[in-house]
Structure 1
Amino acid sequence: MKFNLVQTLVFTLCLISVQIYGIQDASGKRIVSKYERIMQMYPQLSSGAGESSQWRAAEKDNQRHPCRRDCADKQPMTCYYYMVVHYDDTMAETCKRYLQSKFRFKLSGKEYIDGIALATQLAANDDCKYADGLESEVMVVNGQLPGMNIEVCYGDTVVADVINSMHETTTIHWHGMHQRLTPFMDGVPHVTQYPIEAGQAFRYRFEVDHGGTNWWHSHTEHQRAFGLAGPLVVRMPPKLNPHAHLYDFDMSEHVIMIQDWVHNFVESVAENILINGRGRNLKKGVKAAKPTLYAHFPVVRGGRYRFRVIFNGVSNCPISFSIDKHDLVVIASDGNDIEPVEVQRIMFHGAERFDFVLHANQEVSNYWIRVKGYSFCAKNQLHQEAVLHYRDADTRALDTHTLSYAYDAPGKTLNELGDDASGARAGNSISLANLNAQRPEPEVAPSVTFYTSMNAFEVRQGEGFRFQMDDISFSMPKMSLLQTRNLGVGQFFCNRSQQADLGFNCRQRHCQCSNVIQVPANQQVEFVISSLSQTPHPIHLHGYTFRVVGMGVLGEQKIGQIEQIDKKTPLPRRAKGAPLKDSVQVPAFGYTILRFYSNSPGYWMFHCHISPHSENGMAAVVRVGEDVEMKMCPVSNCGLCSSVA
């Protein structure tokens, strides 16, 4: 790389300095990590005078960011982040220190690493990505797996300079942010921005307009499967936090990010599940497997802790989450407060987040945090664990005899697979659609209802699967819709009725085009979404939080006639207090009914959050309003900087 990179970024990116410290192995030998080498090519530079001098940033990689603070009403900050996207490896040289004998111990013939001892004895800026102990290529930001935890307050402004050092394009989507003022910062390539090419930089700048547990991730191909994802936690001032009295601690240490895992960029069935980038190796036939390093979550007996759990579900692998001998008092989902419900197990579908309060009221010990995979993850019986560690408990006292895929936590489950709000399993299951929003509001009758279907089916045996919404496989446009909306781009749109007008029956032929659903602005809008396949699909709508007013299962024979059924005998809908979400499951051969007020004109992705499904066509674009109603980017290149290579 030439250092005209530095010259370019000095003028186009207002950057703040950071010093890279070397890492030493057990013998004192200097280790230069890939991240350190990348930062030598893409250094974070000092800013001059002007606006950027008021931005708040961490001075060093391992320092607490000043925007991670107790939130006060009407005291916003501008929070700066320097994010270098790069290739890296798990179990690289920087991980060798973890394998020192002083950290290793054996239980029942298997070897483990003492994670608590590691945390207290090794430097905080160590960028070892241990994962499941196997070497694998990954994509990461700033050497971290999972990615950096961005913690801000509601009303802050985030400024993030994303530097792409890879040899492929990328973008970052800020999942949970509405982007009402900045739809051009949503991070979807060819929909709200042009992709960040290799060697380019992009400055994302947006107001934090949605509180709670959110996250950021790449929205390019399957990159989030390989490590490009991290938490985005938005805290509220105490007077805006209705659950503040329920817990004593809301700490970074209790943010949990879970994902199904593959090795070496192989886009196939998941081979493992990781909890905060760590876990037991589940791949069979591995010779000389490394010791297991579990993620640890420390608590003090008697304390009440807010846990924030994010599921970066990549493949068709919904999961269950439980903690031995502890109840989970669920208080929020997708960043939206709900009336608290006590359960013992939570089901997560791709992109969902749940916050719960845990009361550390058991004996001082270690307790298993259990995650179990279903659907495609059931094929390999994938399950993973982490440790809830009470202070003063023996860090190496772990009962591994109960670790089995067959284990299911006893008690009530929230958001069950095949969730049906009719309450057929009311004794041991709570439907997500039956949760109550913390601030219940009466439902307003929609001005328009859209019926949308999701389907995945095998074309012919051995010829692969077809993934569709509204019987159309979505193909990404060649231009960015938001940027070129005034240049006649509408001629390239399609939808189910447009294809029918052309004489195409999309149930008999393969329709593949840029499916755009036109929604009027400033109206109450309803979507009735059905799954025509034997698997649930997690649906995510960008730019909005919606109300889940209905959910149920009709069965394979009836689901194809859902529009006729609903118009003849309306499906059940909530009259008041429906929970708010941005990602929710559509049950297999079932439906989910969403409502939102369309007050943010723009082009918003609407897609299944199972990566192979959406990347192969189970997606659409919701076009809210007319082009003249959409906000223009105030900068001609809309955040995209000149080449930095």
Structure 2
Amino acid sequence: MLLGTLFTLLAQCLLIEATSCLVKHDGGFVPDHVLRVSSRNISIACTSRQSAVVNGTSPGPELRVPAGQRTWIRVYNDLEQENLTMHWHGLAQRMAIFADGSPQGSQWPIPPGHFFDYELQTTVEDAGTYFYHSHVGMQALTASGALIVEGCERPPYQYDDERTLHWSDFFPQTDHEIEVGLQSVPLVWPGEVRAVLLNGKGIGIGHEADVSPSGDCSLPVIDVDPGKTYRFRFIGATGLSLVSMGFEGHQNLTIIQVDGGEWTKPASVDRIQLASGQRFDALFKAKTEEELASEGRQTYFIQFETRDRPEVYRGYAVIRYSKASTTPHVPTIPPLTLPNNTYDWLEYELRPLIETVTQPTLGEVTRRVIINASQLTDPQNQHVVWRLANLSWTEAVRQTPLLVDIYKFGDLAIPNYDAALANYGWDPETRAFPAKVGEVLEIVFQNTGSLVGSDGAVDIHPFHAHGEHFYDIGSGDGVYDAEANEAKLVAMNYTAVKRDTTMLYHYAATTTPGAPAGWRAWRLRVTQPGVWMIHCHILQHMVMGKSADAV
């Protein structure tokens, strides 16, 4: 009976979508945007690398689409030997669930020499900062770009102009080389990041910056005008890095939006901390002509450093007030001291600007799903893998996309809800986590010490949910205590913001193997039928199995 109800709800949604808005694309169809993904040997981080690029560049072109309208984006796979999908990171895709871009979840991958027309059906509430990226293997290291949903209404905050700051990682190995190493026995880890790039530019370790800002090995530059207020759109398109960044002489940023459509009450910060998959929009107040004259400067540094990794990468960019100004040399002494702790940045501080609907209370929660994040050696094949709730999931797990199976086979393809309840929350047959429309879920990610070796290493994990955004209700050390955290929320009169990517931190570098080592908790009211991925957004971890499908 329950399986039939689940399928009926999903089938009705799919039927309405397919019949009321049926669109046929013949030879005369012209998409709103075209993206072509190919492989090129590009200049990057002061060297060259064979990389997946979008329309010939990395990052790809910034796309701007209107809120509340349908946009069609045609994506061509011009790679010679690799499959491709494109994910519209942060967009709920509630009305185009087949176009979410999750391979073997919502769609077949695009084979070489073919294209797929993606439908983006946004709402007026979606106006904000997103990005697009390939969802196959390690391609997202370079195959990504900014996606801005432009609203028709005046934003609730005033600013004169805006700048996009797209952050990415550089590794010298090719995507294929990294993937092969991660799937080898023994594991071949690709090492730590060799550069963090801002809008595709940055200085690789062991290289020196060109003086000319137009060179291939030059500091990134953000141009601003005196006296203006800017909306800085920070996009975390890194593959591995959690980046902490400070702005020399400008410790006056104000967070106004997070992860796309959620406007926040103003939150004053002196730095930005950005993990893979996250977006923050902040107001940046430029100095006046008088302040610049008093300080005798036209350029200031952005200092950025990786955090919670065995090695620290430090890089610089330049805030430039006059395009005629000479780009400064990389400082020999860092102008800023950035904190080492990461786990307390903006925790329990971000609040929605308009509190129309608040997060469910603990009393409203109908089901709690505990998802342990575990690293271990698979006893069957000796691969080092990651598991979520004892499930390791990659594209190779399924022969057919789960959503396609549901279209074709109905009840037989729907995850068994009762079987899932008895098996860590996921159905052993479909290897997917089922949820019922109307449920109020509390999802708890529990960090643990690694079972590989004997040191119990503890990693960090930016967890991302496709589809419906969730209320982030906090994090902490040790084991999650629902009653204690709820008491904290009530005492603070805290209203959570909706997010799509938040951090599972570590509070120590090592612990006892398998022991609890920190938690992150979400709550959501299930309202959007579909097949949606939940995964760690560190690309290496995804390749090693740290993903799951939810239906």
Give the alignment's TM-score, normalised by structure 1. 0.67
Aligned mates of 2:347, 2:483 — CA distance in 1:
24
Q: Are 1:358 and 2:273 counterparts?
A: no
What's 1:132 paired with?
45
Output the amino acid matched with 1:310: I
Q: Are 1:602 and 2:530 counterparts?
A: yes
Cα pair distance change 1:137/1:207, threshold 3 Å: same
Q: Are 1:224 and 2:140 counterparts?
A: yes
Give yes or no for contact 2:470–2:522 (8 Å, CA) kept in 1. Answer: yes
Structure 1 residue 371: Cα displacement: 1.6
Match of 1:297 among 215, 222, 229: 222
Match of 1:202 among 116, 126, 133: 116
Structure 1 residue 522: Cα displacement: 2.9
Aligned mates of 2:370, 2:346 — CA distance in 1:
22
* Gapped regions of structure 1 (runs ≥ 5): 1-11, 15-46, 56-79, 92-130, 420-429, 624-645
Q: SS state of the match for residue 199, structure 1?
A: coil
Give yes or no for contact 1:474–1:513 (8 Å, CA) kept in 2. Answer: no
Structure 1 residue 592: Cα displacement: 1.7
Match of 1:81 among 33, 37, 58: 33
What's 1:438 paired with?
353
Give yes or no for contact 1:328–1:343 (8 Å, CA) kept in 2. Answer: yes
Structure 1 residue 312: Cα displacement: 1.2
Q: SS state of the match for residue 467, structure 1?
A: strand
Aligned mates of 1:337, 1:163 — CA distance in 2:
34
Give yes or no for contact 2:108–2:400 (8 Å, CA) kept in 1. Answer: yes
Aligned mates of 2:89, 2:269 — CA distance in 1:
26
Deviations 1:228-277 (A, max 9, x none): 110001122344x211x2x2112xxx101111211241421222211111
Cα pair distance change 1:513/1:617, threshold 3 Å: farther
Q: Are 1:401 and 2:313 counterparts?
A: no
Deviations 1:269-305 (A, max 9, x none): 222211111111214799xxx9731221111111111
Q: SS state of the match for residue 484, structure 1?
A: helix
Give yes or no for contact 2:415–2:434 (8 Å, CA) kept in 1. Answer: no
* Gapped regions of structure 2 (runs ≥ 5): 1-23, 179-189, 210-214, 450-457, 507-516
Output the amino acid matched with 2:224: V
What's 1:307 paired with?
232
Match of 1:613 among 541, 544, 550: 541
Cα pair distance change 1:291/1:260, threshold 3 Å: closer
Structure 1 residue 580: Cα displacement: 1.7
**Residue pairs, 1:191-270, within 5 angstroms:** 191-209=105-123, 210-225=126-141, 227-239=142-154, 241-243=155-157, 245=158, 247-250=159-162, 254-265=163-174, 266-267=177-178, 268-269=190-191, 270=193
Cα pair distance change 1:516/1:433, threshold 3 Å: farther
Deviations 1:143-167 (A, max 9, x none): 1111110012312322111111112
What's 1:97 paired with?
none
Give yes or no for contact 1:256–1:310 (8 Å, CA) kept in 2. Answer: yes
Deviations 1:424-471 (A, max 9, x none): xxxxxx433321111124433334232332424343999663201002
Instruction: Compare CA radii of gyration and give the structure with the larger one.
Output: 1
Cα pair distance change 1:333/1:576, threshold 3 Å: same
Q: Are 1:582 and 2:500 counterparts?
A: yes
What's 2:470 paired with?
546
What's 2:436 paired with?
520
Match of 2:94 among 180, 186, 195: 180
Q: SS state of the match for residue 135, structure 1?
A: strand
Give yes or no for contact 1:514–1:620 (8 Å, CA) kept in 2. Answer: no
Q: SS state of the match for residue 392, structure 2?
A: strand
Aligned mates of 2:520, 2:466 — CA distance in 1:
17
Give yes or no for contact 1:417–1:536 (8 Å, CA) kept in 2. Answer: no
Q: SS state of the match for residue 482, structure 1?
A: helix
Give yes or no for contact 1:471–1:496 (8 Å, CA) kept in 2. Answer: no
Q: Are 1:337 and 2:263 counterparts?
A: yes
Give yes or no for contact 2:420–2:434 (8 Å, CA) kept in 1. Answer: no
Aligned mates of 1:569, 1:300 — CA distance in 2:
45
Cα pair distance change 1:495/1:473, threshold 3 Å: farther
Q: SS state of the match for residue 549, structure 1?
A: strand
Cα pair distance change 1:199/1:566, threshold 3 Å: same
What's 1:152 paired with?
65
What's 1:118 paired with?
none
Structure 1 residue 310: Cα displacement: 0.5
Give yes or no for contact 2:374–2:386 (8 Å, CA) kept in 1. Answer: yes
Cα pair distance change 1:400/1:13, threshold 3 Å: farther
Give yes or no for contact 1:433–1:579 (8 Å, CA) kept in 2. Answer: no
Output the amino acid matched with 1:373: T
Structure 1 residue 546: Cα displacement: 1.2
Output the amino acid matched with 2:529: P
Aligned mates of 1:587, 1:347 — CA distance in 2:
13
What's 1:480 paired with?
401
Structure 1 residue 382: Cα displacement: 1.2
Deviations 1:605-634 (A, max 9, x none): 0111111112222121111xxxxxxxxxxx
Structure 1 residue 214: Cα displacement: 0.3
Cα pair distance change 1:615/1:497, threshold 3 Å: farther
Give yes or no for contact 1:418–1:536 (8 Å, CA) kept in 2. Answer: no
Deviations 1:55-99 (A, max 9, x none): 7xxxxxxxxxxxxxxxxxxxxxxxx111111001113xxxxxxxx
Cα pair distance change 1:221/1:491, threshold 3 Å: farther
Structure 1 residue 516: Cα displacement: 1.3
Deviations 1:371-402 (A, max 9, x none): 211233x42x3122211100266223446223
Aligned mates of 1:492, 1:169 — CA distance in 2:
25
Aligned mates of 1:260, 1:385 — CA distance in 2:
14
Cα pair distance change 1:311/1:365, threshold 3 Å: same
Match of 1:372 among 305, 320, 334: 305
Match of 1:320 among 244, 263, 284: 244
Q: SS state of the match for residue 602, structure 1?
A: coil
Aligned mates of 1:202, 1:308 — CA distance in 2:
28
Cα pair distance change 1:434/1:334, threshold 3 Å: same
Q: Calculate the aligned-residue CA RMSD, in Å.
A: 3.2
Q: SS state of the match for residue 60, structure 2?
A: coil
Give the alignment's TM-score, normalised by structure 2. 0.78
Cα pair distance change 1:620/1:84, threshold 3 Å: same
Aligned mates of 1:572, 1:497 — CA distance in 2:
33
Cα pair distance change 1:492/1:467, threshold 3 Å: farther
Give yes or no for contact 1:319–1:371 (8 Å, CA) kept in 2. Answer: yes
Output the amino acid matched with 1:213: T
Structure 1 residue 523: Cα displacement: 3.4
Give yes or no for contact 1:192–1:482 (8 Å, CA) kept in 2. Answer: yes
What's 2:83 paired with?
169
Give yes or no for contact 2:440–2:526 (8 Å, CA) kept in 1. Answer: yes
Cα pair distance change 1:569/1:313, threshold 3 Å: closer
Cα pair distance change 1:248/1:146, threshold 3 Å: same
Give yes or no for contact 2:230–2:285 (8 Å, CA) kept in 1. Answer: yes
Q: SS state of the match for residue 434, structure 2?
A: strand
Deviations 1:15-43 (A, max 9, x none): xxxxxxxxxxxxxxxxxxxxxxxxxxxxx
Cα pair distance change 1:484/1:359, threshold 3 Å: same
Instruction: Between 227-236 and 436-445, report the one with greater CA deviation.
Output: 436-445
Cα pair distance change 1:587/1:617, threshold 3 Å: same
What's 2:513 paired with?
none
What's 2:482 paired with?
566
